[in-house]
Copies of this chain bind each other. A is one copy, B any other.
Amino acid sequence: MRFTSEQRLDDGVLERAFTLGDIPGTLWTPGSAPAPLVLMAHNNGLPMAEPRLVARARYTAARGYAVATIDAAGCGDRPRSAADEQARAGLRRAMRAGEPVDEILESLVGPLVENAVPEWRTTLDALLELPETGGGPVGYSGGWTALGIRLAVVEPRIAAVSFFAGGYVPRAQREEARQVTVPLLFLLQWDDEGNPRQRALDLFDAFGSKEKTLHANVGGHTGTPWFELEDGCRFLDRHLK
């Protein structure tokens, strides 16, 4: 892991870009170390520089966490496969035409998750060797619900997960949801135009966790109220601190 740039933010958080082989990433650490590690991914390959992810990461770091994100294979500015390009073009076409997008999302997000998981695990190995993280425990918090499900199933080091939205999750992860048994916070927007409500509720129902909490707020996909940021950190506090 090689740090390529750094800046100290107003609230004392240190934001550093890093590379790990081909993987570009960002690590935010609070003033006091070590701090529990939180992996934070953005939905379906949106770039790690996306402002809402960066805002959430900085807030969470200021609350005493080491927060990391990466652009995994096929995500952000990294090269995309021909199949991936084709699926994305098909998705745009179908959405313009008002046609169903389920099968396209399946063919797009399914492989994206499969390819992302090994890179997130490699990153996790490297991050847990840093003195800043103190070796664990680890939380997952993010908009990419399908990736979080897969990581929680294969990665015993993940002790708590917090998901957002989750109306569109590939079949494979919908089926593995019952294998997720760590404490879980599931956040959704009641009128999310891109994530069918009933499907998100069914997913919440499917998780195997004995401690699982649903938070839903009225409004569309980007309308999550600010206090959910704080609630998310309080959930992590209960399980990682």
Contact between chains at B227 and A217 (CB < 8 Å): no
Query: Nearest B residue to A234 by beta-carbon distance?
Result: B227
Known A201-B201, A205-B190, A231-B231; contact A214-B214, beta-carbon cutoff 8 A: yes
Which residue in B211, B215, B234, B238 is a CB contact (below 8 Å) of A214? B215
B190 and A214 within 8 A (CB): yes
- In angstroms, Cα B190 to Cα A238, docked, is 21
Partner of A218, one of B209, B215, B218, B238: B209
Interface size class of A (residues with CB under 8 A): 10 to 19
> When the two chains form their complex, are residues A218 and B212 in contact, meaning their CB atoms are under 8 A apart?
yes
A213 to B218, CA, bound (A): 7
Q: A205's closest neighbor in chain B, by CB?
A: B190
A234 to B218, CA, bound (A): 18
Bound-complex Cα distance A238 to B228 (A):
13
Find the B residue at minimum CB distance from A230: B234
Give the interface centre of A190, A201, A213, A215 by most chain B CB atoms within 10 Å. A213
Any chain B CB within 8 A of the CB of A96? no
- Work out how many copies of this chain go into the complex: 2
Interface assignment of A210: CB less than 8 Å from any CB of chain B: yes
The reply on A131 being an interface residue by CB < 8 A is no
In the bound complex, what is the Cα–Cα distance between A190 and B238 (angstroms)? 21
Chain B residues near A213: list those with CB within 8 A. Answer: 215-218, 225
Is B227's CB under 8 angstroms from A218's CB? no
Question: A218 to B225, Cβ gap below 8 A?
Answer: no
Smallest beta-carbon distance A26→chain B, Å: 30
Q: In the complex, what residues of B have CB within 8 A of residue A217's CB?
A: 211-214
Question: In whole angstroms, how far apart are the Cα atoms of A204 and B238 in the complex?
Answer: 27
- List of 9 A-B pairs having minimum Cβ-Cβ separation, nearest first: A214-B216, A212-B218, A213-B217, A215-B215, A213-B215, A227-B238, A214-B214, A210-B218, A213-B216
Q: What are 14 sample pairs from A and B whose C-beta atoms fall under 8 A apart? A: A190-B212, A190-B214, A201-B201, A204-B216, A211-B217, A211-B218, A212-B217, A213-B217, A214-B214, A214-B217, A215-B215, A227-B234, A227-B238, A231-B231
* Extra inter-chain contacts (16) besides given A190-B212, A210-B218, CB under 8 Å: A190-B205, A201-B201, A204-B216, A209-B218, A211-B217, A211-B218, A212-B217, A213-B216, A213-B218, A213-B225, A214-B215, A214-B216, A214-B217, A215-B215, A216-B216, A231-B231
